A and B are shown apart, each in its own frame.
Chain A
Amino acid sequence: MEVLHIATSGSVDDGKSTLIGRLLYDTKSITQDKLEAIHAASKRKGLDFTDLSLLTDGLVAEREQGITIDVAHIYFSTPTRKYIIADTPGHIEYTRNMVTGASTAQASLILVDARKGIVEQTYRHFFIANLLRIPHLVVCVNKMDLVEYSEARFNEIVADFQHLIAQAPFKEQEIKFIPISSLYGENLVTRTEKLGWYQGDTLLEYLETIEVDAADNQHPARFPVQYVIRPRTTEYHDFRGFAGRVASGHFSVGDEVVALPSGKTSKIKTIEKFEQQLPVANTGDSVVITLEDEIDISRGNLLAKAGQAPRELKDITANICWMDQQKLVPGKTYLLQHGVNRLKAKVQGVQEVLDVTKNEIIADKKELGLNDIGKISLKTAQPVFADTYAANPANGAFILIDEFSNATVAVGFVI
């Protein structure tokens, strides 16, 4: 059974939480006691409707203010697959939490209020979905009930959105437009006559057809070593296995592999998963690999197929999203974590800062603060074996950690 990760984003009051609540309700994924609890809570708040956002806004501070602050993870299943929704905040102040929720998504839902059309936050959300190279994007034109289910209005918003798409760097993104009403559950799971002019899929129909992880298995094979298994028991006296999860591509028994950074090569002797011996390990599989030869490999090293190794980088240029209250300090050394490999990296400089709402460089700005997106250069203490994010997302991203506060201060995408 497959798992599809979805991230939702939208401006405050675009009806994101209602959409999720409705999806859960219409797929019968919400139990009676939870529903009764939010009925009661809505009443206590003096609302004359059931506020479905109370399902997902799990923090006191969120319910107080009626906004989403941090990502909530929500689950539902259909006979086809299991869905994990990252319900991310729409508020600009919480952009970092939006990126957090979107980073693992295969499909991103952007909500647009049919009355308002594209607003500043729509640019931001689209930019981030595009920067993260999320393969599928659904623009849900919501509140169609408030524009008399007008086809003309829908087409107008689609046309406006096409201008954004024309400027976007990640052209392969598949983009669908669906007119919906979250409040009445129209075109989410069930169709409506009122939107009879719309011939395409409902939201759920579309989500059901997305191919999961199809691309990752085609990428070059990368296996970050997490942990060396060395039991030293009588039974497994000489066993030395490399535990990890295949980040991209696939490995088979007998493949010639190169270990990085040593550059030494060997052949895959076995691929093991608990008591099973596997002929091949695909993207996403957590396995233990043993090699024909005794070569020195430790945590943070990377296995690739011989002849298909990623580039060795000591100078990295990357797009980053800054996520900390404290600004980026040029010249400061941070910890760079690429996959499971952690090393020191010094920020050489900020090359440019972007205004994502206009998709242009801010001419006079050379510093990055909370929620800013820009391009920086870094020098690393040891070589990093990364692909560009565009070529292989699974091996092309990193995070920066502040050595003193231990906070995760940025996410980066190797150019």
Chain B
Amino acid sequence: MSNKIQWQFPQALEDEAIYILRETAAQFERPAILFSGGKDSITLVRLAQKAFAPGKIPFPLLHVDTGHNFPETISFRDELVKSLGVELQVRYVQDSIDQGKVQEETGKYASRNALQTVTLLDAIESLKYDACIGGARRDEEKARAKERIFSVRDEFGQWNAKMQRPELFDMLNGKINMGENVRVFPISNWTELDVWNYIRRENLAIPSIYYSHERQIIERDGMYWPYSAFLNTVDGEVPFTGRVRFRTVGDMTCTAAVISEAGKLEDIISEILEAKISERGARIDDKRSEAAMEKRKQAGYF
């Protein structure tokens, strides 16, 4: 394939995303951007900045903090919020655990990834958000490929895949009843490569863990897991130092690293073009079953 083309960003995607963000601001009273500090939510923030310039971003950011984050992501988040002057709301999975609403998983595969749904739904209810803008993309996973741009969720945050509203042309219907909310996905039609090419074109800062660095890892099930206090290891799992980076930023217990020397954006993009494994191939949370994502979405996951 011609290299030149692979570095191009399809401009129509930005125009579409800006259109969706403006519809969200106009159709809802209290929208928020779900912000994890990962590349997709960083892209969303940039798009929101462009959609409303020279005005300010009219949405607060909501971060559901599992407590198992990469520290690099949290410091990045705080700097970004400061530089943009937007409001940040943080809700903690630990609080949901302390309130007895969810129970910490145990064992080798324990993760707080699924627990964050409850914290998210509580946040939506208490902060009265009627629209949550997420950086999910349809190319990530086959259940996501089925979801609408304005995805209506009931008061339990549930996605009913069989009863989705038809979405015609670019006309978005965000009309809902009290208690319901809409998940909005402005970058639905972007691929992983589009996001990276956009970050490159816009020269956006991203957390350091996306670039090659040295880290303590363990090998499990053919994947490299970041070693941390949150990971339950078993006998024979000995941490060692590896030169790695991450393709997605999730929780430290559900995101596997890839061996990489990629030190700049161009290297990352070249690596993706060559990759034999999909982006979510390194997401341990998706490996639980063929329908892992669909089940999580039914339960209210974003």
Contact = CB atoms under 8 A, between A and B. Distances in A.
A278 interface: no
Contacts of A78: 1
A70 B162 CA distance: 7
Interface stretch (B64-72, B102-110, B113-121, B276-284): B276-284
B22 A244 contact: yes
Contact of A408 (B52, B165, B188, B277): B165
Interface string A362-386: 0000000000000000000000000
Chain A interface category by residue count: 35 or more
Nearest to B25: A227
Contacts of B14: 286
A334 to B, nearest CB: 12
Contacts of B51: 243, 286
B10 to A, nearest CB: 5
Given A58-B143, A401-B173, A84 B189 contact: yes
B173 A100 contact: no
A72 B15 contact: no
Interface string A300-315: 0000000000000000
B234 interface: no
B52 A243 contact: yes
B177 interface: yes
A319 B14 CA distance: 32
Interface stretch (B53-61, B122-130, B204-212): B53-61
B146 A1 contact: no
A311 B47 CA distance: 34
Nearest to B15: A286
A411 B168 contact: yes
A1 B5 contact: yes
A223 interface: no
Contacts of A82: 10, 191, 194
B13 interface: yes
A274 B291 contact: no
Nearest to B46: A274
B171 interface: yes
Contact of A2 (B12, B54, B56, B177): B12
B56 A401 contact: no
Interface in A210-239: 226-227, 229-231, 233, 235-236, 239
A385 to B, nearest CB: 15
B291 A60 contact: yes
Contacts of A1: 5, 8-11
Interface stretch (A179-187, A193-201, A335-343, A353-361): A335-343
Contact of B168 (A37, A406, A408): A408
Contacts of A57: 142
Given A1-B9, A245-B15, A70 B171 contact: no
A7 B195 CA distance: 24
A84 B142 CA distance: 14
A59 B189 contact: no
The residue in B12, B14, B281, B291 that gathers the most chain A C-beta atoms within 10 A of its C-beta is B12
B19 A286 contact: yes
B18 A245 contact: yes
Contact of A406 (B23, B26, B164, B173): B173
Given A33-B276, A229-B54, A58 B294 contact: yes
A33 to B, nearest CB: 4
Given A58-B294, A227-B26, A401-B175, A104 B169 contact: yes
A288 B51 CA distance: 9
A79 B2 contact: yes
Nearest to B12: A3
B55 A70 contact: no
Contacts of A274: 49-50, 53
A269 to B, nearest CB: 14
Contacts of B15: 245, 284-286
Contacts of B22: 226-227, 243-244, 286
B98 interface: no
Chain A facing B: main interface SS: mixed
Nearest to A236: B54
A226 B19 contact: yes
The residue in A61, A96, A235, A408 that gathers the most chain B C-beta atoms within 10 A of its C-beta is A408
Contacts of A2: 10, 12
Given A75-B191, A100-B167, A399-B173, A31 B276 contact: yes
A56 interface: yes
A315 B53 CA distance: 38
Contacts of A408: 165-168, 173
B88 interface: no
Contacts of B49: 274
Contacts of B219: none
A316 interface: no
A162 interface: no
A397 B278 contact: no
B173 A75 contact: no
A170 B177 CA distance: 40
Interface in B161-216: 161-162, 164-171, 173, 175-177, 188-189, 191, 193-194
A339 B25 CA distance: 16
Nearest to B9: A1
A31 B277 contact: yes
Contact of B54 (A56, A79, A231): A231
B145 interface: yes
A25 B157 CA distance: 36
Contacts of B278: 31, 33-34
Interface of B: 1-2, 5-6, 8-16, 18-19, 22-23, 25-26, 49-56, 138-139, 141-146, 152, 161-162, 164-171, 173, 175-177, 188-189, 191, 193-194, 275-278, 281, 290-291, 294
Interface of A: 1-3, 31-34, 37, 41, 55-61, 63, 69-75, 77-82, 84, 96-97, 99-100, 103-104, 226-227, 229-231, 233, 235-236, 239, 241, 243-245, 272-275, 284-286, 288, 299, 323, 335, 337, 339-340, 394, 397-399, 401, 406-408, 411
Given A73-B189, A80-B5, 20 more contacts: A1-B5, A31-B278, A56-B142, A58-B141, A59-B162, A60-B291, A69-B161, A70-B146, A70-B161, A77-B6, A79-B5, A84-B189, A99-B168, A104-B169, A245-B18, A272-B53, A272-B54, A274-B53, A286-B18, A399-B168
